Structure 1
Protein backbone atom coordinates (compact mmCIF):
# COMPACT_ATOMS: atom_id res chain seq x y z
CA UNK A 1 0.00 0.00 0.00
CA UNK A 2 1.67 3.21 -1.18
CA UNK A 3 -0.74 5.83 0.15
CA UNK A 4 -1.89 4.53 3.54
CA UNK A 5 -4.14 7.50 4.48
CA UNK A 6 -6.07 7.12 1.22
CA UNK A 7 -6.31 3.35 1.67
CA UNK A 8 -7.69 3.65 5.21
CA UNK A 9 -10.16 6.42 4.32
CA UNK A 10 -11.57 4.42 1.35
CA UNK A 11 -11.30 7.48 -0.89
CA UNK A 12 -11.60 6.38 -4.49
CA UNK A 13 -9.60 8.98 -6.41
CA UNK A 14 -7.93 11.64 -4.26
CA UNK A 15 -5.82 11.59 -1.13
CA UNK A 16 -7.42 12.96 2.07
CA UNK A 17 -4.05 14.50 2.92
CA UNK A 18 -3.48 16.76 -0.11
CA UNK A 19 -6.50 16.24 -2.40
CA UNK A 20 -4.34 14.91 -5.25
CA UNK A 21 -4.89 11.84 -7.42
CA UNK A 22 -2.17 9.19 -7.49
CA UNK A 23 -2.41 8.65 -11.24
CA UNK A 24 -2.27 12.34 -12.15
CA UNK A 25 0.98 13.44 -10.52
CA UNK A 26 3.76 11.52 -12.30
CA UNK A 27 6.71 11.99 -12.23
CA UNK A 28 6.08 13.62 -8.85
CA UNK A 29 8.29 15.99 -6.88
CA UNK A 30 10.81 15.24 -4.11
CA UNK A 31 9.79 18.33 -2.13
CA UNK A 32 6.06 18.25 -2.95
CA UNK A 33 3.03 17.05 -1.01
CA UNK A 34 2.60 13.44 0.15
CA UNK A 35 1.15 12.19 -3.16
CA UNK A 36 3.85 13.96 -5.19
CA UNK A 37 6.63 12.55 -3.01
CA UNK A 38 5.23 9.02 -3.35
CA UNK A 39 5.06 9.40 -7.14
CA UNK A 40 8.62 10.75 -7.24
CA UNK A 41 9.87 7.74 -5.26
CA UNK A 42 8.11 5.29 -7.60
CA UNK A 43 9.34 7.09 -10.70
CA UNK A 44 12.99 7.51 -9.71
CA UNK A 45 13.57 4.18 -7.95
CA UNK A 46 11.44 1.82 -10.06
CA UNK A 47 10.12 3.26 -13.32
CA UNK A 48 13.33 5.01 -14.39
CA UNK A 49 15.23 1.70 -14.12
CA UNK A 50 12.71 -0.25 -16.22
CA UNK A 51 12.62 -1.33 -19.87
CA UNK A 52 8.81 -1.07 -20.06
CA UNK A 53 5.91 -0.08 -17.83
CA UNK A 54 2.71 -2.06 -17.20
CA UNK A 55 0.39 -0.15 -14.86
CA UNK A 56 -2.26 -2.59 -13.59
CA UNK A 57 -5.56 -1.06 -12.45
CA UNK A 58 -8.61 -2.74 -10.95
CA UNK A 59 -11.93 -0.90 -10.92
CA UNK A 60 -12.13 1.96 -8.43
CA UNK A 61 -14.45 1.69 -5.44
CA UNK A 62 -17.52 2.65 -7.49
CA UNK A 63 -16.57 1.03 -10.82
CA UNK A 64 -17.01 -2.26 -12.64
CA UNK A 65 -14.74 -2.74 -15.65
CA UNK A 66 -14.79 -5.74 -17.98
CA UNK A 67 -11.22 -5.29 -19.17
CA UNK A 68 -9.44 -3.03 -21.63
CA UNK A 69 -5.94 -1.70 -22.25
CA UNK A 70 -4.68 1.85 -22.66
CA UNK A 71 -1.72 2.10 -25.04
CA UNK A 72 0.39 5.26 -25.11
CA UNK A 73 1.18 7.69 -27.90
CA UNK A 74 4.26 9.90 -27.56
CA UNK A 75 5.00 10.84 -31.17
CA UNK A 76 7.89 8.37 -31.28
CA UNK A 77 6.74 5.88 -33.93
CA UNK A 78 8.82 2.95 -32.69
CA UNK A 79 7.83 3.39 -29.04
CA UNK A 80 4.17 3.88 -29.94
CA UNK A 81 4.28 0.70 -32.04
CA UNK A 82 5.73 -1.33 -29.14
CA UNK A 83 3.14 0.07 -26.73
CA UNK A 84 0.31 -0.93 -29.07
CA UNK A 85 1.83 -4.39 -29.61
CA UNK A 86 2.10 -4.87 -25.83
CA UNK A 87 -1.64 -4.11 -25.66
CA UNK A 88 -2.34 -6.96 -28.12
CA UNK A 89 -1.04 -9.40 -25.50
CA UNK A 90 -4.21 -9.00 -23.40
CA UNK A 91 -7.51 -10.88 -23.91
CA UNK A 92 -9.61 -7.84 -24.75
CA UNK A 93 -11.31 -6.56 -27.87
CA UNK A 94 -10.83 -2.93 -26.88
CA UNK A 95 -7.70 -0.77 -26.77
CA UNK A 96 -7.64 2.95 -26.05
CA UNK A 97 -4.75 5.19 -27.03
CA UNK A 98 -3.90 8.02 -24.63
CA UNK A 99 -1.23 10.67 -25.24
CA UNK A 100 1.93 10.48 -23.13
CA UNK A 101 2.37 13.89 -21.51
CA UNK A 102 5.38 15.28 -19.58
CA UNK A 103 3.28 15.18 -16.40
CA UNK A 104 0.17 13.29 -15.40
CA UNK A 105 -0.48 9.55 -15.72
CA UNK A 106 2.16 6.87 -15.30
CA UNK A 107 2.51 6.76 -19.09
CA UNK A 108 4.42 10.04 -18.85
CA UNK A 109 7.43 7.70 -18.70
CA UNK A 110 7.04 7.05 -22.44
CA UNK A 111 7.52 10.77 -23.08
CA UNK A 112 10.13 11.45 -20.39
CA UNK A 113 12.47 8.46 -20.46
CA UNK A 114 11.55 6.64 -23.66
CA UNK A 115 10.08 3.36 -22.42
CA UNK A 116 6.83 1.84 -23.80
CA UNK A 117 3.89 2.13 -21.40
CA UNK A 118 0.48 0.53 -21.13
CA UNK A 119 -2.26 0.76 -18.50
CA UNK A 120 -4.67 -2.08 -17.76
CA UNK A 121 -8.21 -1.70 -16.48
CA UNK A 122 -10.19 -4.72 -15.26
CA UNK A 123 -12.26 -5.68 -12.25
CA UNK A 124 -14.40 -4.33 -9.45
CA UNK A 125 -13.73 -4.08 -5.70
CA UNK A 126 -16.36 -6.65 -4.74
CA UNK A 127 -16.87 -9.38 -5.59
CA UNK A 128 -13.44 -10.00 -7.08
CA UNK A 129 -13.95 -11.96 -10.31
CA UNK A 130 -11.48 -14.66 -11.26
CA UNK A 131 -11.67 -13.66 -14.93
CA UNK A 132 -10.52 -10.13 -14.03
CA UNK A 133 -7.56 -11.54 -12.09
CA UNK A 134 -6.64 -13.79 -15.01
CA UNK A 135 -6.94 -10.86 -17.43
CA UNK A 136 -4.04 -9.19 -15.61
CA UNK A 137 -1.97 -12.35 -15.06
CA UNK A 138 -2.29 -13.95 -18.50
CA UNK A 139 -1.80 -10.70 -20.39
CA UNK A 140 1.24 -9.67 -18.37
CA UNK A 141 2.88 -13.08 -18.87
CA UNK A 142 2.24 -12.66 -22.60
CA UNK A 143 3.91 -9.23 -22.54
CA UNK A 144 6.97 -10.72 -20.82
CA UNK A 145 7.16 -13.29 -23.63
CA UNK A 146 6.70 -10.55 -26.24
CA UNK A 147 9.59 -8.61 -24.66
CA UNK A 148 11.65 -11.85 -24.57
CA UNK A 149 11.92 -11.71 -20.78
CA UNK A 150 10.25 -15.14 -20.58
CA UNK A 151 10.67 -18.04 -23.01
CA UNK A 152 7.90 -18.94 -25.42
CA UNK A 153 5.68 -17.21 -27.95
CA UNK A 154 3.08 -14.72 -26.70
CA UNK A 155 -0.58 -15.31 -27.44
CA UNK A 156 -1.70 -12.06 -29.04
CA UNK A 157 -5.08 -10.66 -30.05
CA UNK A 158 -4.63 -9.05 -33.45
CA UNK A 159 -8.32 -8.23 -33.97
CA UNK A 160 -8.72 -5.52 -31.36
CA UNK A 161 -10.82 -2.41 -31.83
CA UNK A 162 -8.82 0.78 -31.44
CA UNK A 163 -11.12 3.30 -29.81
CA UNK A 164 -10.15 6.97 -29.99
CA UNK A 165 -12.74 8.28 -27.52
CA UNK A 166 -14.29 7.42 -24.16
CA UNK A 167 -17.64 9.14 -23.72
CA UNK A 168 -18.43 9.69 -20.04
CA UNK A 169 -22.07 9.95 -18.98
CA UNK A 170 -22.91 11.79 -15.75
CA UNK A 171 -25.85 12.22 -13.41
CA UNK A 172 -27.69 15.54 -13.42
CA UNK A 173 -29.40 14.88 -10.07
CA UNK A 174 -29.05 13.28 -6.67
CA UNK A 175 -31.03 10.05 -6.61
CA UNK A 176 -30.96 6.31 -7.30
CA UNK A 177 -29.17 4.79 -10.32
CA UNK A 178 -31.02 2.10 -12.28
CA UNK A 179 -28.82 0.57 -14.97
CA UNK A 180 -30.29 -0.99 -18.11
CA UNK A 181 -27.03 -2.10 -19.73
CA UNK A 182 -24.15 -4.50 -19.15
CA UNK A 183 -20.39 -4.43 -19.50
CA UNK A 184 -19.11 -5.08 -23.03
CA UNK A 185 -22.59 -4.49 -24.45
CA UNK A 186 -22.67 -2.91 -27.92
CA UNK A 187 -24.95 0.12 -28.02
CA UNK A 188 -26.29 2.49 -30.66
CA UNK A 189 -26.65 6.24 -30.39
CA UNK A 190 -29.90 6.99 -28.58
CA UNK A 191 -30.19 3.63 -26.79
CA UNK A 192 -31.51 3.89 -23.23
CA UNK A 193 -28.73 2.85 -20.83
CA UNK A 194 -30.43 3.56 -17.51
CA UNK A 195 -32.41 5.96 -15.36
CA UNK A 196 -31.94 8.22 -12.37
CA UNK A 197 -34.95 8.02 -10.05
CA UNK A 198 -35.82 10.26 -7.13
CA UNK A 199 -36.37 8.80 -3.68
CA UNK A 200 -40.06 8.22 -4.47
CA UNK A 201 -39.27 6.08 -7.51
CA UNK A 202 -40.04 8.67 -10.20
CA UNK A 203 -37.73 8.86 -13.23
CA UNK A 204 -35.98 12.24 -13.26
CA UNK A 205 -33.29 11.54 -15.87
CA UNK A 206 -32.99 9.08 -18.75
CA UNK A 207 -29.43 8.16 -19.73
CA UNK A 208 -28.96 7.52 -23.45
CA UNK A 209 -25.91 6.57 -25.50
CA UNK A 210 -24.53 9.69 -27.15
CA UNK A 211 -22.75 7.62 -29.83
CA UNK A 212 -22.36 4.06 -31.09
CA UNK A 213 -19.91 2.06 -29.00
CA UNK A 214 -19.26 -0.48 -26.27
CA UNK A 215 -20.01 -0.15 -22.54
CA UNK A 216 -16.53 -0.26 -20.99
CA UNK A 217 -17.34 0.89 -17.43
CA UNK A 218 -20.45 0.81 -15.26
CA UNK A 219 -21.17 2.14 -11.80
CA UNK A 220 -21.44 -0.23 -8.82
CA UNK A 221 -23.38 1.99 -6.41
CA UNK A 222 -27.11 2.68 -6.56
CA UNK A 223 -26.83 5.93 -4.58
CA UNK A 224 -25.81 8.76 -6.88
CA UNK A 225 -24.95 12.41 -6.50
CA UNK A 226 -25.30 15.15 -9.06
CA UNK A 227 -22.40 15.20 -11.59
CA UNK A 228 -21.13 11.73 -10.64
CA UNK A 229 -19.94 9.35 -13.35
CA UNK A 230 -22.44 6.64 -14.35
CA UNK A 231 -21.07 4.93 -17.46
CA UNK A 232 -18.34 5.05 -20.06
CA UNK A 233 -19.11 4.29 -23.71
CA UNK A 234 -16.04 3.53 -25.81
CA UNK A 235 -16.60 4.69 -29.37
CA UNK A 236 -15.46 2.68 -32.37
CA UNK A 237 -15.01 5.42 -34.98
Structure 2
Protein backbone atom coordinates (compact mmCIF):
# COMPACT_ATOMS: atom_id res chain seq x y z
CA UNK A 1 0.00 0.00 0.00
CA UNK A 2 1.13 3.54 -0.79
CA UNK A 3 -0.55 6.31 1.18
CA UNK A 4 0.14 10.05 1.01
CA UNK A 5 -2.27 12.50 2.62
CA UNK A 6 -5.79 11.46 1.63
CA UNK A 7 -4.62 9.40 -1.39
CA UNK A 8 -4.22 5.66 -0.92
CA UNK A 9 -3.26 3.08 -3.56
CA UNK A 10 -3.32 -0.63 -2.81
CA UNK A 11 -1.04 -3.12 -4.56
CA UNK A 12 -1.83 -3.13 -8.28
CA UNK A 13 -3.65 0.23 -8.15
CA UNK A 14 -3.10 3.73 -9.51
CA UNK A 15 -4.69 6.71 -7.76
CA UNK A 16 -4.68 10.46 -8.39
CA UNK A 17 -5.41 13.34 -6.06
CA UNK A 18 -4.19 16.46 -4.32
CA UNK A 19 -1.79 17.01 -1.43
CA UNK A 20 -2.35 20.24 0.49
CA UNK A 21 0.72 22.32 1.25
CA UNK A 22 1.60 22.60 4.93
CA UNK A 23 -0.21 25.68 6.21
CA UNK A 24 -2.60 25.73 3.25
CA UNK A 25 -2.79 28.05 0.28
CA UNK A 26 -2.03 25.57 -2.50
CA UNK A 27 -2.41 21.91 -3.43
CA UNK A 28 0.01 19.67 -5.29
CA UNK A 29 -1.29 17.25 -7.99
CA UNK A 30 -0.12 13.67 -7.46
CA UNK A 31 -0.36 10.27 -9.09
CA UNK A 32 0.46 7.26 -6.91
CA UNK A 33 1.29 3.96 -8.59
CA UNK A 34 1.47 0.97 -6.26
CA UNK A 35 3.04 -1.91 -8.12
CA UNK A 36 1.66 -5.42 -8.05
CA UNK A 37 5.16 -6.67 -7.17
CA UNK A 38 7.49 -5.74 -4.34
CA UNK A 39 10.24 -3.26 -5.08
CA UNK A 40 11.68 0.19 -4.31
CA UNK A 41 9.83 3.50 -4.34
CA UNK A 42 10.76 6.13 -6.90
CA UNK A 43 9.61 9.74 -6.75
CA UNK A 44 9.48 11.84 -9.93
CA UNK A 45 8.76 15.58 -9.87
CA UNK A 46 8.26 18.27 -12.50
CA UNK A 47 7.34 21.94 -12.53
CA UNK A 48 9.66 23.14 -9.76
CA UNK A 49 9.99 26.14 -12.07
CA UNK A 50 6.63 27.13 -13.49
CA UNK A 51 7.48 27.67 -17.17
CA UNK A 52 9.53 24.49 -17.68
CA UNK A 53 6.97 22.42 -19.53
CA UNK A 54 8.73 19.41 -21.02
CA UNK A 55 8.95 17.54 -17.74
CA UNK A 56 5.36 18.37 -16.82
CA UNK A 57 4.02 16.94 -20.08
CA UNK A 58 6.34 13.93 -19.97
CA UNK A 59 5.26 13.06 -16.43
CA UNK A 60 1.59 13.53 -17.33
CA UNK A 61 1.92 11.01 -20.17
CA UNK A 62 4.17 8.64 -18.25
CA UNK A 63 1.83 8.48 -15.26
CA UNK A 64 -1.01 7.41 -17.56
CA UNK A 65 1.12 4.84 -19.40
CA UNK A 66 2.72 3.08 -16.43
CA UNK A 67 0.76 -0.03 -15.50
CA UNK A 68 0.84 -1.07 -11.82
CA UNK A 69 0.70 -4.70 -12.93
CA UNK A 70 4.07 -4.27 -14.67
CA UNK A 71 5.66 -2.24 -11.87
CA UNK A 72 7.81 -3.60 -9.05
CA UNK A 73 7.53 -1.15 -6.15
CA UNK A 74 5.92 2.27 -6.10
CA UNK A 75 6.04 5.46 -8.15
CA UNK A 76 5.16 8.88 -6.71
CA UNK A 77 4.49 11.44 -9.46
CA UNK A 78 4.46 15.10 -8.41
CA UNK A 79 3.16 16.71 -11.58
CA UNK A 80 3.65 20.40 -10.74
CA UNK A 81 5.67 21.43 -7.70
CA UNK A 82 5.12 25.17 -8.21
CA UNK A 83 1.41 25.50 -9.11
CA UNK A 84 0.96 29.28 -9.11
CA UNK A 85 4.06 29.87 -11.26
CA UNK A 86 2.84 27.18 -13.67
CA UNK A 87 -0.60 28.78 -13.84
CA UNK A 88 0.68 32.34 -14.29
CA UNK A 89 3.62 31.60 -16.66
CA UNK A 90 6.19 32.91 -14.18
CA UNK A 91 9.82 31.97 -14.72
CA UNK A 92 12.12 30.82 -11.90
CA UNK A 93 10.17 32.09 -8.88
CA UNK A 94 7.13 31.41 -6.71
CA UNK A 95 4.97 34.50 -7.39
CA UNK A 96 3.65 34.87 -3.85
CA UNK A 97 7.04 35.40 -2.18
CA UNK A 98 9.47 35.96 -5.06
CA UNK A 99 11.74 33.06 -4.05
CA UNK A 100 13.30 30.41 -6.26
CA UNK A 101 11.76 27.15 -5.03
CA UNK A 102 14.88 25.26 -6.07
CA UNK A 103 16.99 27.30 -3.64
CA UNK A 104 15.02 26.87 -0.40
CA UNK A 105 15.05 23.11 0.27
CA UNK A 106 14.53 21.38 2.66
CA UNK A 107 12.16 24.25 3.47
CA UNK A 108 10.43 25.41 6.64
CA UNK A 109 7.15 24.17 8.10
CA UNK A 110 6.12 27.70 9.14
CA UNK A 111 7.94 29.67 6.44
CA UNK A 112 6.88 31.53 3.31
CA UNK A 113 4.94 29.70 0.60
CA UNK A 114 8.12 28.57 -1.20
CA UNK A 115 9.56 27.24 2.04
CA UNK A 116 6.32 25.45 2.95
CA UNK A 117 6.12 23.85 -0.51
CA UNK A 118 9.71 22.66 -0.10
CA UNK A 119 8.98 21.36 3.42
CA UNK A 120 5.90 19.48 2.20
CA UNK A 121 7.82 17.87 -0.67
CA UNK A 122 10.67 16.96 1.68
CA UNK A 123 8.62 15.55 4.54
CA UNK A 124 5.56 14.14 2.80
CA UNK A 125 6.97 12.85 -0.50
CA UNK A 126 10.75 12.48 -0.55
CA UNK A 127 10.65 10.79 2.85
CA UNK A 128 8.81 7.83 1.28
CA UNK A 129 11.20 7.37 -1.66
CA UNK A 130 14.29 5.25 -2.29
CA UNK A 131 15.21 7.14 -5.48
CA UNK A 132 14.27 10.58 -6.80
CA UNK A 133 14.22 12.18 -10.27
CA UNK A 134 13.57 15.91 -10.74
CA UNK A 135 12.63 16.92 -14.31
CA UNK A 136 13.61 20.41 -15.50
CA UNK A 137 13.98 22.33 -18.75
CA UNK A 138 15.24 25.69 -19.87
CA UNK A 139 12.88 28.41 -18.67
CA UNK A 140 11.27 31.00 -20.96
CA UNK A 141 14.58 32.79 -21.56
CA UNK A 142 16.90 29.75 -21.59
CA UNK A 143 18.09 27.06 -23.96
CA UNK A 144 19.47 23.83 -22.55
CA UNK A 145 21.25 20.83 -24.01
CA UNK A 146 20.03 17.46 -22.70
CA UNK A 147 22.09 16.68 -19.60
CA UNK A 148 21.74 15.27 -16.11
CA UNK A 149 23.14 16.42 -12.76
CA UNK A 150 24.26 14.01 -10.06
CA UNK A 151 25.41 15.17 -6.64
CA UNK A 152 28.86 14.50 -5.16
CA UNK A 153 28.47 16.51 -1.94
CA UNK A 154 26.61 13.91 0.12
CA UNK A 155 29.17 11.15 0.47
CA UNK A 156 30.58 8.41 -1.74
CA UNK A 157 27.60 6.03 -1.54
CA UNK A 158 24.98 8.61 -2.54
CA UNK A 159 27.27 9.90 -5.30
CA UNK A 160 27.80 6.38 -6.66
CA UNK A 161 24.10 5.46 -6.74
CA UNK A 162 23.11 8.85 -8.15
CA UNK A 163 25.78 8.60 -10.86
CA UNK A 164 24.46 5.15 -11.77
CA UNK A 165 20.97 6.63 -12.17
CA UNK A 166 22.42 9.44 -14.28
CA UNK A 167 24.22 7.00 -16.57
CA UNK A 168 20.92 5.26 -17.32
CA UNK A 169 19.52 8.47 -18.83
CA UNK A 170 19.82 8.68 -22.62
CA UNK A 171 21.65 12.00 -22.47
CA UNK A 172 24.94 13.18 -23.93
CA UNK A 173 26.29 14.65 -20.70
CA UNK A 174 26.17 13.91 -16.99
CA UNK A 175 27.55 16.65 -14.76
CA UNK A 176 28.63 16.41 -11.14
CA UNK A 177 27.37 19.05 -8.72
CA UNK A 178 28.04 20.14 -5.15
CA UNK A 179 24.76 22.06 -4.69
CA UNK A 180 22.82 21.50 -1.46
CA UNK A 181 19.60 23.59 -1.49
CA UNK A 182 17.77 22.27 -4.56
CA UNK A 183 15.02 19.67 -4.50
CA UNK A 184 17.34 16.89 -5.67
CA UNK A 185 20.56 18.05 -3.99
CA UNK A 186 18.87 18.54 -0.62
CA UNK A 187 17.43 15.03 -0.95
CA UNK A 188 20.95 13.69 -1.47
CA UNK A 189 22.09 15.46 1.71
CA UNK A 190 19.49 13.47 3.62
CA UNK A 191 20.53 10.13 2.12
CA UNK A 192 18.15 9.89 -0.86
CA UNK A 193 19.93 9.17 -4.17
CA UNK A 194 18.66 11.71 -6.67
CA UNK A 195 19.31 13.35 -10.03
CA UNK A 196 18.15 16.47 -11.88
CA UNK A 197 17.58 16.23 -15.63
CA UNK A 198 17.40 19.06 -18.19
CA UNK A 199 15.94 19.16 -21.71
CA UNK A 200 14.82 21.89 -24.11
CA UNK A 201 13.56 25.27 -23.00
CA UNK A 202 12.19 28.56 -24.23
CA UNK A 203 8.86 28.09 -22.46
CA UNK A 204 7.72 25.40 -24.91
CA UNK A 205 7.80 21.65 -25.45
CA UNK A 206 7.91 19.33 -28.44
CA UNK A 207 6.73 15.76 -28.75
CA UNK A 208 10.25 14.53 -29.50
CA UNK A 209 11.55 16.10 -26.28
CA UNK A 210 8.68 14.63 -24.28
CA UNK A 211 9.27 11.16 -25.72
CA UNK A 212 12.99 11.45 -24.98
CA UNK A 213 12.27 12.36 -21.35
CA UNK A 214 9.95 9.38 -21.00
CA UNK A 215 12.72 7.15 -22.39
CA UNK A 216 15.16 8.60 -19.85
CA UNK A 217 12.84 7.89 -16.93
CA UNK A 218 11.97 4.38 -18.10
CA UNK A 219 15.68 3.59 -18.50
CA UNK A 220 16.28 4.65 -14.91
CA UNK A 221 13.29 2.66 -13.67
CA UNK A 222 14.66 -0.41 -15.44
CA UNK A 223 18.12 0.07 -13.97
CA UNK A 224 16.80 0.56 -10.43
CA UNK A 225 14.53 -2.48 -10.62
CA UNK A 226 11.04 -0.97 -10.98
CA UNK A 227 10.48 -2.09 -14.58
CA UNK A 228 11.66 -5.07 -16.59
CA UNK A 229 13.11 -4.78 -20.08
CA UNK A 230 16.19 -3.37 -21.79
CA UNK A 231 17.44 0.19 -21.55
CA UNK A 232 17.38 2.19 -24.79
CA UNK A 233 20.40 4.37 -25.52
CA UNK A 234 20.88 6.46 -28.65
CA UNK A 235 23.87 8.59 -27.57
CA UNK A 236 27.24 8.02 -25.91
CA UNK A 237 27.24 9.79 -22.55
CA UNK A 238 30.24 11.81 -21.36
CA UNK A 239 31.07 13.02 -17.86
CA UNK A 240 31.53 16.70 -16.94
CA UNK A 241 33.28 17.13 -13.60
CA UNK A 242 34.02 20.87 -13.72
CA UNK A 243 31.59 23.63 -14.63
CA UNK A 244 31.45 27.42 -14.62
CA UNK A 245 28.33 29.53 -14.11
CA UNK A 246 28.69 33.07 -15.45
CA UNK A 247 26.41 35.93 -14.37
CA UNK A 248 25.88 39.40 -15.80
CA UNK A 249 28.18 41.96 -14.21
CA UNK A 250 26.11 44.88 -15.49
CA UNK A 251 22.72 45.65 -17.00
CA UNK A 252 22.61 45.47 -20.78
CA UNK A 253 21.90 43.39 -23.87
CA UNK A 254 23.29 39.84 -23.99
CA UNK A 255 24.66 38.33 -27.21
CA UNK A 256 25.74 34.67 -26.88
CA UNK A 257 28.17 33.33 -29.49
CA UNK A 258 27.34 29.63 -29.25
CA UNK A 259 24.26 27.46 -28.81
CA UNK A 260 23.55 24.94 -26.07
CA UNK A 261 25.52 21.77 -26.79
CA UNK A 262 28.25 23.55 -28.79
CA UNK A 263 31.89 22.91 -27.90
CA UNK A 264 34.62 25.55 -27.94
CA UNK A 265 38.33 26.10 -27.32
CA UNK A 266 39.86 27.57 -24.20
CA UNK A 267 39.84 31.36 -24.32
CA UNK A 268 36.92 31.49 -26.76
CA UNK A 269 34.51 34.40 -26.48
CA UNK A 270 31.25 32.96 -25.13
CA UNK A 271 29.22 36.14 -25.39
CA UNK A 272 29.13 39.87 -24.86
CA UNK A 273 26.96 42.37 -23.02
CA UNK A 274 26.42 45.69 -24.81
CA UNK A 275 24.44 48.82 -24.05
CA UNK A 276 21.35 49.82 -26.01
CA UNK A 277 23.53 51.70 -28.53
CA UNK A 278 25.70 48.65 -29.18
CA UNK A 279 28.75 49.70 -27.19
CA UNK A 280 30.66 46.82 -25.60
CA UNK A 281 30.30 46.68 -21.81
CA UNK A 282 31.60 43.20 -20.95
CA UNK A 283 33.13 40.27 -22.80
CA UNK A 284 32.94 36.74 -21.39
CA UNK A 285 35.60 34.16 -22.30
CA UNK A 286 36.00 30.47 -21.51
CA UNK A 287 38.65 29.54 -18.95
CA UNK A 288 39.13 26.16 -20.63
CA UNK A 289 37.85 24.07 -23.58
CA UNK A 290 34.31 22.94 -22.90
CA UNK A 291 30.68 22.55 -23.86
CA UNK A 292 27.72 24.90 -23.36
CA UNK A 293 25.29 23.25 -20.94
CA UNK A 294 22.73 26.04 -20.94
CA UNK A 295 22.51 29.77 -21.50
CA UNK A 296 20.20 32.74 -21.47
CA UNK A 297 18.72 33.58 -24.86
CA UNK A 298 16.73 36.61 -23.72
CA UNK A 299 18.13 39.91 -24.95
CA UNK A 300 17.83 42.09 -21.87
CA UNK A 301 19.75 41.15 -18.72
CA UNK A 302 20.41 42.82 -15.40
CA UNK A 303 23.28 42.53 -12.98
CA UNK A 304 23.35 39.09 -11.37
CA UNK A 305 21.27 37.34 -14.03
CA UNK A 306 22.61 33.96 -15.20
CA UNK A 307 24.19 34.17 -18.65
CA UNK A 308 25.78 30.83 -19.45
CA UNK A 309 26.91 27.57 -17.87
CA UNK A 310 29.66 25.52 -19.45
CA UNK A 311 31.60 22.45 -18.44
CA UNK A 312 34.73 20.47 -19.18
CA UNK A 313 34.70 16.79 -20.10
CA UNK A 314 36.48 14.63 -17.54
CA UNK A 315 38.00 12.49 -20.30
CA UNK A 316 39.02 15.34 -22.59
Q: Please indicate the TM-score interval, normalised by the length of the shorter structure.
A: 0.7 to 0.9
Deviations 1:138-157 (A, max 9, x none): 11010111112111122358
Query: Which residue of the other structure, out of 79, 85, 101, is the alignment partner of 1:6?
Result: 85
Is 2:239 aligned against 1:171?
Answer: no
1:162 and 1:2 map into 2 onto residues whose CA distance is 29
Aligned to 1:87, the other structure's residue is in SS state helix
1:43 and 1:36 map into 2 onto residues whose CA distance is 10
**Equivalent position of 2:34 in the other structure:** none
**Equivalent position of 2:231 in the other structure:** 154
1:154 and 1:78 map into 2 onto residues whose CA distance is 23
Deviations 1:66-106 (A, max 9, x none): 111011225543432221111111222211122374x5443
Query: Which residue of the other structure, out of 132, 138, 145, is the alignment partner of 1:66?
Result: 145
Aligned to 1:142, the other structure's residue is in SS state helix
- Give the superposition deviation at 1:132: 2.9
RMSD: 2.4
Query: Which residue of the other structure, out of 86, 100, 110, is the alignment partner of 1:21?
Result: 100
**Equivalent position of 2:189 in the other structure:** 111
- The answer to whether the 8 Å contact 2:118/2:183 transfers is no
Change (3 A) 1:111 1:194: closer
- Give the superposition deviation at 1:5: 4.0
**Mind listing any 5+ residue stretches in structure 1 that lack a counterpart?**
none
Matches within 5 A, 1:92-111: 92-99=171-178, 101=180, 104-111=182-189
- The answer to whether the 8 Å contact 1:61/1:124 transfers is yes
Aligned to 1:28, the other structure's residue is in SS state coil
Is 2:215 aligned against 1:128?
Answer: no
Q: 138-147 or 200-209: which moved more?
A: 200-209
Q: How many residues align?
A: 235
